[in-house]
Amino acid sequence: MNRMHHWYCDRDAWKRHVREDLVPAAIAGLDLGEEMLEVGPGFGPATEVLADRVTQLTALEIDPQLAGALRERLGARVRVVDGDATAMPFEDGAFSSAACFTMLHHVPSSAAQDQLFAEVRRVLRPGAVFAGTDSTGRGPGFALLHIGDTKVVIAPADLERRLAAAGFDDVSVSSDRDTITFRARRCRTTVE
Protein backbone atom coordinates (compact mmCIF):
# COMPACT_ATOMS: atom_id res chain seq x y z
CA MET A 1 0.00 0.00 0.00
CA ASN A 2 1.51 3.35 -0.98
CA ARG A 3 1.65 6.27 1.48
CA MET A 4 -1.39 8.08 0.10
CA HIS A 5 -3.48 4.91 0.15
CA HIS A 6 -2.26 4.13 3.67
CA TRP A 7 -3.29 7.62 4.78
CA TYR A 8 -6.70 7.34 3.09
CA CYS A 9 -7.56 3.97 4.64
CA ASP A 10 -6.52 5.13 8.10
CA ARG A 11 -8.86 8.16 8.03
CA ASP A 12 -11.89 8.26 10.33
CA ALA A 13 -14.20 9.09 7.40
CA TRP A 14 -13.14 5.95 5.50
CA LYS A 15 -13.42 3.75 8.58
CA ARG A 16 -16.90 5.13 9.27
CA HIS A 17 -17.93 4.41 5.64
CA VAL A 18 -16.75 0.81 5.98
CA ARG A 19 -18.47 0.31 9.35
CA GLU A 20 -21.74 2.09 8.54
CA ASP A 21 -22.21 1.44 4.82
CA LEU A 22 -20.10 -1.34 3.33
CA VAL A 23 -20.30 -3.99 6.06
CA PRO A 24 -24.05 -3.63 6.70
CA ALA A 25 -24.80 -3.80 2.95
CA ALA A 26 -22.81 -7.02 2.59
CA ILE A 27 -23.98 -8.94 5.66
CA ALA A 28 -27.52 -7.67 6.32
CA GLY A 29 -29.83 -10.59 7.05
CA LEU A 30 -27.10 -13.25 6.82
CA ASP A 31 -26.56 -15.98 9.38
CA LEU A 32 -22.82 -15.74 9.99
CA GLY A 33 -22.75 -18.61 12.47
CA GLU A 34 -20.28 -18.74 15.34
CA GLU A 35 -16.81 -18.85 13.72
CA MET A 36 -16.13 -16.27 11.03
CA LEU A 37 -13.05 -15.56 8.92
CA GLU A 38 -12.25 -12.05 7.73
CA VAL A 39 -9.75 -12.02 4.86
CA GLY A 40 -7.46 -8.99 4.57
CA PRO A 41 -8.78 -6.77 7.36
CA GLY A 42 -6.15 -4.06 6.83
CA PHE A 43 -6.74 -1.35 9.42
CA GLY A 44 -9.74 -3.26 10.78
CA PRO A 45 -12.84 -1.07 10.51
CA ALA A 46 -14.92 -4.04 9.34
CA THR A 47 -13.25 -6.25 11.95
CA GLU A 48 -14.73 -4.16 14.75
CA VAL A 49 -18.27 -4.65 13.39
CA LEU A 50 -17.84 -8.36 12.64
CA ALA A 51 -16.40 -9.08 16.10
CA ASP A 52 -19.72 -7.98 17.59
CA ARG A 53 -21.70 -10.33 15.31
CA VAL A 54 -19.99 -13.69 15.95
CA THR A 55 -18.60 -15.67 18.87
CA GLN A 56 -15.14 -16.12 17.31
CA LEU A 57 -13.69 -13.89 14.59
CA THR A 58 -10.40 -14.80 12.94
CA ALA A 59 -8.72 -12.10 10.84
CA LEU A 60 -6.13 -13.22 8.27
CA GLU A 61 -3.75 -10.37 7.35
CA ILE A 62 -0.74 -10.58 5.02
CA ASP A 63 0.89 -7.32 6.20
CA PRO A 64 2.72 -8.00 9.49
CA GLN A 65 2.54 -4.36 10.61
CA LEU A 66 -1.22 -4.17 10.10
CA ALA A 67 -1.67 -7.57 11.79
CA GLY A 68 0.36 -6.39 14.78
CA ALA A 69 -1.63 -3.17 15.06
CA LEU A 70 -4.90 -5.15 14.97
CA ARG A 71 -3.67 -7.49 17.71
CA GLU A 72 -2.67 -4.56 19.86
CA ARG A 73 -5.94 -2.67 19.34
CA LEU A 74 -8.45 -5.53 19.47
CA GLY A 75 -6.73 -7.88 21.93
CA ALA A 76 -8.59 -11.07 22.73
CA ARG A 77 -11.73 -9.99 20.84
CA VAL A 78 -10.24 -11.20 17.55
CA ARG A 79 -7.74 -13.92 16.68
CA VAL A 80 -5.37 -12.20 14.23
CA VAL A 81 -3.33 -14.55 12.05
CA ASP A 82 -0.42 -13.47 9.85
CA GLY A 83 -0.81 -15.19 6.50
CA ASP A 84 -1.51 -15.24 2.80
CA ALA A 85 -5.12 -15.73 1.71
CA THR A 86 -3.99 -17.76 -1.30
CA ALA A 87 -2.53 -20.41 1.04
CA MET A 88 -4.52 -20.21 4.26
CA PRO A 89 -3.15 -21.88 7.40
CA PHE A 90 -6.56 -23.30 8.39
CA GLU A 91 -8.17 -26.72 8.23
CA ASP A 92 -10.85 -27.56 5.69
CA GLY A 93 -14.31 -26.51 6.87
CA ALA A 94 -13.03 -24.49 9.83
CA PHE A 95 -15.42 -21.53 9.48
CA SER A 96 -19.17 -20.90 9.43
CA SER A 97 -18.75 -17.73 7.32
CA ALA A 98 -16.15 -15.54 5.65
CA ALA A 99 -15.95 -11.96 4.48
CA CYS A 100 -13.59 -9.49 2.87
CA PHE A 101 -13.99 -5.77 2.40
CA THR A 102 -12.26 -3.56 -0.19
CA MET A 103 -9.21 -5.81 -0.45
CA LEU A 104 -9.65 -8.04 -3.50
CA HIS A 105 -8.12 -5.44 -5.83
CA HIS A 106 -4.93 -5.64 -3.72
CA VAL A 107 -4.43 -9.30 -4.65
CA PRO A 108 -1.67 -9.21 -7.31
CA SER A 109 -3.33 -11.12 -10.18
CA SER A 110 -6.61 -12.61 -11.36
CA ALA A 111 -5.11 -16.07 -10.85
CA ALA A 112 -4.22 -15.20 -7.25
CA GLN A 113 -7.73 -13.82 -6.69
CA ASP A 114 -9.17 -17.11 -7.97
CA GLN A 115 -6.84 -19.01 -5.63
CA LEU A 116 -8.10 -16.83 -2.76
CA PHE A 117 -11.70 -17.73 -3.69
CA ALA A 118 -10.76 -21.43 -3.77
CA GLU A 119 -9.09 -21.14 -0.37
CA VAL A 120 -12.11 -19.38 1.15
CA ARG A 121 -14.30 -22.17 -0.22
CA ARG A 122 -11.96 -24.80 1.25
CA VAL A 123 -12.01 -23.34 4.77
CA LEU A 124 -15.80 -22.85 4.81
CA ARG A 125 -18.26 -25.49 5.90
CA PRO A 126 -20.78 -26.70 3.29
CA GLY A 127 -23.52 -24.09 2.87
CA ALA A 128 -21.52 -21.37 4.66
CA VAL A 129 -21.70 -17.81 3.37
CA PHE A 130 -18.92 -15.68 1.85
CA ALA A 131 -19.77 -11.98 1.59
CA GLY A 132 -18.00 -8.73 0.97
CA THR A 133 -17.29 -5.67 -1.09
CA ASP A 134 -14.61 -4.33 -3.37
CA SER A 135 -14.02 -1.24 -5.44
CA THR A 136 -15.16 -0.97 -9.04
CA GLY A 137 -12.09 1.14 -9.72
CA ARG A 138 -14.26 3.96 -11.05
CA GLY A 139 -14.55 6.10 -7.92
CA PRO A 140 -12.97 9.52 -7.59
CA GLY A 141 -9.28 9.30 -6.84
CA PHE A 142 -9.05 5.51 -7.11
CA ALA A 143 -6.21 5.64 -9.64
CA LEU A 144 -4.32 8.20 -7.55
CA LEU A 145 -4.59 6.08 -4.42
CA HIS A 146 -3.04 3.14 -6.28
CA ILE A 147 -0.04 4.78 -7.97
CA GLY A 148 2.79 2.30 -7.57
CA ASP A 149 0.43 -0.04 -5.73
CA THR A 150 -1.26 -3.31 -6.62
CA LYS A 151 -4.55 -2.68 -8.43
CA VAL A 152 -6.31 -5.66 -10.02
CA VAL A 153 -9.96 -4.65 -10.27
CA ILE A 154 -12.58 -7.36 -10.75
CA ALA A 155 -15.34 -6.46 -13.20
CA PRO A 156 -18.74 -6.96 -11.54
CA ALA A 157 -19.87 -9.02 -14.55
CA ASP A 158 -16.95 -11.44 -14.00
CA LEU A 159 -17.22 -11.90 -10.24
CA GLU A 160 -20.31 -14.13 -10.31
CA ARG A 161 -18.71 -16.51 -12.82
CA ARG A 162 -15.41 -16.62 -10.93
CA LEU A 163 -17.06 -17.35 -7.58
CA ALA A 164 -19.13 -20.11 -9.17
CA ALA A 165 -15.98 -21.58 -10.74
CA ALA A 166 -14.40 -21.65 -7.27
CA GLY A 167 -17.26 -23.77 -5.91
CA PHE A 168 -19.81 -21.24 -4.69
CA ASP A 169 -23.50 -21.14 -5.51
CA ASP A 170 -26.36 -18.77 -4.71
CA VAL A 171 -23.99 -16.06 -5.94
CA SER A 172 -25.35 -12.52 -5.88
CA VAL A 173 -23.35 -9.54 -7.18
CA SER A 174 -24.49 -5.93 -7.31
CA SER A 175 -22.63 -2.72 -7.97
CA ASP A 176 -22.93 1.01 -8.12
CA ARG A 177 -20.36 3.46 -9.46
CA ASP A 178 -17.85 2.85 -6.65
CA THR A 179 -18.60 -0.48 -4.99
CA ILE A 180 -19.20 -4.13 -5.81
CA THR A 181 -21.15 -6.04 -3.14
CA PHE A 182 -21.32 -9.83 -3.26
CA ARG A 183 -22.71 -12.84 -1.42
CA ALA A 184 -22.21 -16.51 -2.16
CA ARG A 185 -22.57 -19.87 -0.44
CA ARG A 186 -20.10 -22.71 -0.42
CA CYS A 187 -21.63 -25.49 -2.48
CA ARG A 188 -22.86 -28.40 -0.42
CA THR A 189 -21.41 -30.82 -2.98
CA THR A 190 -17.81 -31.43 -3.94
CA VAL A 191 -16.37 -29.45 -6.85
CA GLU A 192 -13.62 -31.22 -8.83
**148: helix, strand or coil:** coil
Q: Is residue 110 a contact partner of residue 166, using CB atoms and an 8 Å limit? A: no
Tens of pLDDT, residues 115-165: 999 999 999 999 999 999 999 888 667 777 777 777 888 999 899 999 999
Tens of pLDDT, residues 53-82: 999 999 999 999 999 999 999 999 999 999
Secondary-structure class of domain 3-186 per CATH: alpha beta
Q: Is residue 70 a contact partner of residue 42, using CB atoms and an 8 Å limit? A: no
Reply yes or no on whether the pLDDT at 14 is more than 80: no
Q: Is 179 exposed, middle or buried (0-12, 13-18, 19+ CB in 10 A)?
A: buried
Reply yes or no on whether the pLDDT at 49 is more than 60: yes
Reply yes or no on whether the pLDDT at 192 is more than 60: no
Is residue 82 within a helix (H) or strand (E), and if so which, with residue range?
strand 78-82
When the pLDDT of each residue in the chain is averaged and rounded to a whole number, the result is 92
Domain limits, the chain: 3-186
What pTM, to 2 d.p., does this model score?
0.93
Give me the pLDDT at residue 4, please: 74
Is residue 165 within a helix (H) or strand (E), and if so which, with residue range?
helix 156-165
